[in-house]
Structure 1
């Protein structure tokens, strides 16, 4: 290969590489909405799968154990019946079409999801504290000790999982969605302004 051909090949590579990198990667409103809905589906399927696994293990465990362990498995079943209902409701809510939202609606839905996840995280902390309270109460209630300890340990375990689950999903929503939201607002045909009446 001659030096001139090498120069042309190198120059062409640089130009093509630069033009590829220079293209903006602005998300569209449809992409923004689809990613949120897809994430909601992942949350629903993950929580639903976790709930089904806990219900199955808890049902078997409750039928084959006694004492504190039996109550632990029972509470896992009760708790995850609720989780299964929440997962199902979340999946039903994520069935809308991605092209049916305006920019304002999409941003509101994104912010609502973040607020729901933060609120759930606060509730999860309350569950953990409630489970610790049951463990403490078991010390003074010998007639219900096994039940209180089993239920308390289950509530702490379930609350801890949900706390981690909600916080991870909040940060995923925040990192990906907030960046896309700012790009969409910046790319919107109409700007954002403040009206100040002068008297």
Structure 2
């Protein structure tokens, strides 16, 4: 008889675990992946728009400086597109229900760290752009390329800084939902349990 109660208790525990995971965790992952997908669409659109526009403008630049500016914008956005496509693909092919608690927490924190690191790099790009423009003043033979590339770094770094800050803010706003999910799980030395609040 005790064995039957034990089996019933285990069955109920697994049912509640599946229910909790199905409702809270899957919804959280669905929203998180949607945020990532939207971000990658924005980044990819920016990249494609820049590549197309600057390629057209490069056919008839008003100066050598402008030609370098357009060329650097194209190079920069080929890289952006190379980052956006795999990120978008990951968001589209990942099944939110397939991610367990550990994977969810890991991916959430990993993305946050990547965005903060990128924001730091963006500041470095912008700073590098201003430095290149200053260097151009003392190097007349390279003034066009330094000024053009510098302007591009400032523009592209500025966009990416805003992009990373907004994406990080939206992702961080979901952190409270993850904390609520984590509050329902209790791990002890000899047990794992779920708490349900009604």
- TM-score normalised to structure 1 length: 0.80
Q: Which residue of 2 aligns with 1:183?
A: 180
Moved over 2 A (4+): 192-195
TM-score normalized by the length of structure 2: 0.80
Structure 2 SS opposite 1:64: coil
Distance 1:173 1:64, change over 3 A: same
> CA separation in 2, counterparts of 1:138 and 1:71?
13
How many residues end up aligned between the 2 structures?
166
1:82 CA drift (Å): 0.4
Higher alpha-carbon Rg: 1
Give distance in 2, aligned partners of 1:92 and 1:120: 20
Q: Secondary structure at the match of 1:181?
A: helix
What is the correspondence of 1:20-169 to structure 2 with a 5 Å cutoff?
Answer: 28-65=24-61, 66-94=63-91, 95-169=93-167
- Where does structure 2 lack aligned partners over 5 or more consecutive residues? 1-22, 191-198
Specify the SS of the correspondent of 2:138: coil
Structure 1, unpaired ranges of 5+: 1-26
CA RMSD of aligned residues (A): 1.5
Indicate whether 1:173 and 2:176 are aligned: no
